[in-house]
Amino acid sequence: MAQTDQEILEGLAEIVNEETGVEAADVQPEKSFTDDLDIDSLSMMTIVVNAEEKFGVRIPDDEVKNLTTVGDAVKYIQNAQG
C-alpha cells in the first residue's frame, strides 16, 4: 500500500537520523542532502539501501544522483510504490 508524503518523509527522517545523527526535525522536503544536511555519498548510499528496505522500492544507482533534496526522494519513493 502506498504511503503518504508525510509518512515517507517521517520514515526518511528516521533513516537519515540513524545514519548521520542529523535531527529528524531538520529533514524537510526543501533540504538538500549534500548542501543542507551535509550527507556524503557513502552515507547517501546507506540511506538509499535502508529506504529501499523500509519502503519496499528499488532506487537504481543512476537515479540516486537525481535525488538532490529530501522532497525529490519522497516523490521518487511515492511514485515507485505506485
Report, as residue numbers or ranges, the catalytic residues: 40
In whole angstroms, give the CA distance from residue 45 to residue 51.
10
Q: Give the other-Cβ count within 10 Å of 4's Cβ.
A: 10
> In the 8-state DSSP scheme, what is residue 17?
H
Q: Are 68 and 36 in contact (CB under 8 A)?
A: no
Grid cell digits, residue 6: 508525510
